[in-house]
Each structure stands twice: as C-alpha cells, then as structure tokens.
Amino acid sequence: MEIKKVGVVGCGVMGSGIAQLCAQSGYQVVVSEINDELLNKGLASIEKILARSVEKGRISQQDKDATLGHIKGTTNTKDFSDCDIIIEVAIENMDLKKRIFAELDEICSKDAILATNSSVLSIIDMAVSTKRPDKVLGLHFFNPAPIMKLLEIVRTIATSDETIEVCQEFGKSVGKTSVIAPDKPGFIVNRIWIPYMLHAISLLEDGIASKEDIDAAVTAGLNYPMGPLTLVDLTGLDVLLFVANAMYEQLKDPRYIAPTLLKKMVTAGWLGRKTGKGFYEYK
C-alpha cells in the first residue's frame, strides 16, 4: 500500500504540527477541527511557524507556499474519505476516541489505516470500535512534531505486519526514527520519562535542591539539552499530571504517583509556558 494522502483529526498544537510535517514531506493533507474558530487558529499557527522559518533562512518562501498548498482544513469528517492514513489527535478521552474511530471506519476506504497519537490510552480499545482492527495502531509523535525525531509505532495484538511495515515506511518518509512499542500504558518513552519528571519534582518539593540546581545538575551532569523542570514547563504540568494519573490507574506502580506539589500547581493554573507560570515565570 502506498500512502499519498494523510488525514489529521485535530488541529491543536500536536495536530497542526503533524499536519505541517506531513505537508512539508510532500503529502496532501486534510486536517480537521470541531469548528471554524479552532480550525483557523490551527492553520494560522502553521502559517506563523513557516513564516518564522523563512525569516530565519531555514526554508524558502517557495517551500512555505508549497507546504501550505498541500494542506486543506475542514470541519467535515467526510473529507477524510479518500485519505490513505488518518491520524487521530483529539484530547485524551477514550469515549471520544472510540466515537472518532467508529465514524472514520464508516467513512474511509476499507484499505485506509487508522492511527492514534495517544500517549497513554489503550489502542486495542479504539481498534475494536472499527471493523478493521488489523489496520489500527498508534503513531505517537513528539512535540514539536516537525522537529522531534522519534516516532513510536504502537502495535496492538490485532495490528497486522503489513500495517506496521507501511507505517515504518511512512515514518521514514517524514524523517522520523521509528521504534516499535507494545500497546501497554506509556509505551516506551513515557515509561522512562514520567518517573524521571515526577522524581525531579519530588526533589524540589522535599527541599533537596532548588529548581535551578536540579535543572543545572541534569544539563551539566547528564548532558541533557534541558533540565526536567524547564522541560515540564514546556510540555505542560497538566499534561504530565494527566499521563501520570492514567499510568498509575492502569499499572498501580508507585513510581507513577504524582507529587502533591504538581497537583497543587495544576489546581492553581500554573501549567508552564502556556499560562506564563510554572516552575519558572515567563513573560
């Protein structure tokens, strides 16, 4: 099977990033949102990011125009009918995702692959909402999707070898390093990343070290490009809390219990860069 046209359900931060990535890689892309306001906001974000790349000399104006020309925005799910692969990037709500997959199953051709960008939810639960569980899998991109090199290809017990092979080629075509992950909570990266982040927050909460020293110790001592508290401000404290809670609920492993400090900061609305305040303050 050859992928020529890509559908993306959701045009938020991740959805717009995946749509941009696929369009820059030469694919025709259809990206959807639930209303025109959110759709226009997502498309404007893509245009703004590409314009900045032109200003910095990373791409040409011609490249920008070509990328935007490959993207079609829609609020009508039926526009996915001729897509070869559709990547769902809705919020992490299982009932919503099941409804989306059931609807796509009715609309799309029988050969189309249906994928989810979920970072923690059970993919087989989504697959059984369709009549094609062998063509359902996870394609977990990392934020920002056009830049981060990893793609977790998440295989369920029902995903076919052919589907995996097609998606490995697709990952290669958009410049990603792909790894095969099992359909288990957190896949590979979050199994490693979540305890690391939670432990860093616990060190701060317990007064072991300041936030600046924790971040400096990791960047200078482990050669990581970013300290854990700076990183969680970038990704969002609410995202970390949601994923940690979801993983603890499924695994009952104490490594995934969120520190009280994280819970209180999320309650206060201190979610990181997107709200202007997290572990650090941002203008």
Three-state SS at 277 = strand
Catalytic residue selected from 119, 122, 129, 178: 119
Residue 106 annotated to the active site: no
Dihedral of CA 206/207/211/215: which sign?
negative
Tell me the whole-structure pTM to 2 decimals. Answer: 0.91
Alpha helices in the chain (DSSP H): 13-24, 36-55, 61-69, 94-107, 123-127, 161-173, 189-205, 211-221, 228-235, 237-251, 260-267
As assigned by CATH, the class of the 190-273 domain is: mainly alpha
- Active-site annotation holds for 140: yes
Does the domain made of 5-182 have the CATH classification 3.40.50.720? yes
Catalytic position from the list 53, 117, 118, 190: 190
Pick out the chain residues at pLDDT < 70: none
Closest-CA residue to 88 (of 172, 28, 29, 11): 11
- Rounded to whole angstroms, the Cα distance separating 257 from 223 reads 27
Q: For position 143, what pLDDT does the model report?
A: 87
Active-site residue identified among 32, 129, 152, 178: 152
pLDDT of residue 164: 98
- 34 Ramachandran zone, left/alpha/beta (phi>0; psi -120 to 50): alpha
Give domain limits for the chain.
5-182, 190-273
Q: Is 152 a catalytic residue?
A: yes
Q: Is 190 a catalytic residue?
A: yes
Catalytic residue among 16, 33, 118, 140: 140
pLDDT of 35 reads 96
Say which residues have a Cβ less than 8 Å from residue 140's Cβ, sequence separation at least 6. Answer: 117, 118, 119, 151, 152, 153, 154, 181, 187, 189
Question: Beta strand 136-141 with 150-155: parallel, antiparallel or unpaired?
Answer: antiparallel
